[in-house]
Copies of this chain bind each other. A is one copy, B any other.
Amino acid sequence: MCSPSLMRQVHIPAHVQPPHVHGAVVAEQSHAPAFEEPVADEGGVEPAAQAAGRGVGRRALFRMSAIGGAGIAATATLGGVANAAAATGRGAPGSGPRSSRVVDLTHELGEDFPVVYKLMDQPEIEQVRFIDVDGFNANLLTINEHSGTHIDVPGHFGPGEPTVEQISAELLVVPLVVIRIADRAARDHDTRLTVADIRRYESRYGRLPARSFVAVDSGWWRRVNTPGAFLNEDSGGVFHFPGISPEAAAFLIEERNVVGAGTDTSSLDGGAAAVPLTHQTLLPSGRYGIENLAALDSAPDHGATLVVGAPKHRGGFGGQIRALALV
C-alpha cells in the first residue's frame, strides 16, 4: 500500500509528476510507459530471434499483453532471465532457471466473465480510491474464489481437507502436460478426456512425468468472449462444454501420480455431468484442479514448466491464479 501519510494530502493533483531527485534527474519523457502492439497473434508465439532483437527498453516495460481479448497469449523471449551466478555470495545460488519464453495461460477477469451463474455472482471490481481525490487509485474486489482462471484445492470437495494456503510451493512449479481434444470437442461439446487420450499421448511422448500437471486443451478457451458460447447452455438449462472423465482422473492419480489436472472450461467435470465425479475423485485425493485455463494453444504438448501463481488466503477452497508456462 501507499504511505499512510497520504491521509495528510488528499488533494494531490491528477497530473502528479515524478519528482526531480538528487542523483538522477527524472525526465518526464522517460516516465511515459510506451504501449506496443501485442507480441503474439491469437494462439501464436513470437519467434525468439525477433523478440531478442527488439529488446525491452525502459519505455516499453509495460505493454499490452492481452489487447483485444483474453485469448491472446503474451509471449516473449527472456534471454536475460538466467543470471550468471558468481561463485561467492550468501547461500549457494544456483544458476537460475533457463527459460526462453513465458506463455500466459490466464484469462483477464472482468465483471462480465462467464461464471457458473447458478452457483455464484459475477465478480465486482469497485474503485474505492481515486487519484484526483486520494492521491492514488485502488479497487475493492468482491470475487468468488471459483471464478476466472482459478484453482480448486482438496478442501473444495473434502471436509477437513487442505486449503489453498497449505499447498507446498514445490507443487506449484511442475512439468506441464497438454493433451488436446479440440477437434473432437468441436463436434461433441460434451466430450471429456479419456484414458485412451492419455495413452495416445504417451505413445507419442512417453510416459507422463511424475508429479506433472495435465491440462486439457479443448479449444474452449477461444469462446470466452463470445456471449453464451462458453457455458453453452441449452434450452433445458444444461451446460455443454468439455471436461475430464472420472476414469481419466483416477488413472492420472493412481497410475501417473500427477499433482493435478485442469481444463480450459468452467468445470473439471464438463458441463453436462449429472454428478461431479471428477471433482470428487481428483480433489479429495490431495490433488488440485485448475479451471478456465487460457491460450493453451501457445504451450507445447510437453517440455514446459507450469508455474501456478495460487493465492494464499487463509482457509481458501480455491482462488484466482496466474498460470504461466515457462517454455
Residue with the greatest number of chain B CB neighbours at <10 A, chosen from A75, A301, A311? A311
Which B residues touch A76, using CB under 8 A? 168-170
Is A191 an interface residue when CB atoms closer than 8 A count as contact? no
Q: For the complex, give the distance between the alpha carbons of A98 and B303 in Å.
A: 12
Q: How many residues of A contact B (CB 8 A)?
A: 186
Query: What mask results when residues 258 to 287 of chain A are scored 1 for a CB within 8 Å of chain B, else 0?
Result: 010000001111111111110111001111
Known: A18-B284, A166-B64, A301-B90. A143 touches B146 (CB 8 A): no
For A274, give its contact among B8, B62, B116, B254 (CB under 8 Å). B8
Instruction: Decide yes or no: A305 and B212 within 8 Å by CB, A21-B247, A74-B168 being known contacts.
Output: no
A42 at the interface (CB under 8 A from B): no
A9-28 vs B, Cβ < 8 Å mask (1 yes, 0 no): 10000111111011110100
Interface assignment of A95: CB less than 8 Å from any CB of chain B: yes
Contact B281 A4 (CB under 8 A): no
Q: Which residues of B contact A242 (CB under 8 A)?
A: none
Closest to A38 in B: B168
A225 within 8 A of B: no
Complex CA distance for A5 and B33, rounded to whole angstroms: 47
| Inter-subunit contact B95/A98 (CB<8 Å) | yes
A187: interface (CB < 8 Å) = no
Query: Is the CB–CB distance between B247 and A24 below 8 Å?
Result: yes
In angstroms, how far is the closest chain B Cβ from the Cβ of A293? 13
> Would you give the 0/1 interface string for A314-326, flagging 1 where the beta carbon is closer than 8 Å to chain B?
1111111110101
Residues on the B chain within 8 Å of A165, using CB: 65-66, 108-109
